[in-house]
Amino acid sequence: MAEKKLVIAREAIAGRVKELGSRITADYQGRQLLVVGILNGAFIFMADLIREIDLPLEIDFVRVKSYGAGSSSSGTLNFTKDVEIPMAGKDLLLVEDIIDTGLTIANVKEIFAAKNPLSIKVCALIDKKERRKIPIVADYVGFEIEEGFLVGYGLDFAEKHRHYHEVYHLLNCD
């Protein structure tokens, strides 16, 4: 069994998601919002987030893999599911579980910009800059975490540990 240390408690996550939902609601009043979650990691965070956004919106997902079964990014993106809802003329909000190296979200933003949305913003549960390779700034951030391999609340290690209600530092993942 993997050893883990609590980093973000369930109550803190719920409170911060509520705050982010309120900010997004205020920022997108009167606009046509398309919320796109980046699978698999963002699905839990996004489910909670969209319930806190008090606006009509559309929801879709893209599946992008950059980690495989390891604990560090391969640097190569593999799109296995694309967005099905047209994004031209809409405001696009990308929802990510964690921004680490920045490679995934930067590449997704670049590819989606070619689909002519009115705007593209990023909402990340966790912004973790210790391994950042590309300068990328999220527009909405739940938590900034300095270091450690994180799991829970959608974040995984080798497709395990996503189901926890809280975020943990996985102590022995190497």
Pair 164, 156: CB distance under 8 Å: no
DSSP per-residue string spanning 107-136: HHHHHHHTT--SEEEEEEEEE--TT--S--
Out of 48, 91, 100, 127, which one is annotated catalytic?
100
Q: 172 burial class (0-12, 13-18, 19+ CB within 10 angstroms)? A: exposed
Residues 126, 166: contact at Cβ < 8 Å? Answer: no
Torsion, Cα 45 151 168 170, to 10 degrees, reads -170
The answer to whether 100 is a known catalytic residue is: yes
Question: How many CB atoms sit inside 10 A of residue 69's CB?
Answer: 7
- Round to the nearest angstrom and report the end-to-end CA distance of the chain: 13
In the numeric block, the tokens 């079964």 are attached to 69
- The residues assigned a catalytic role are 100
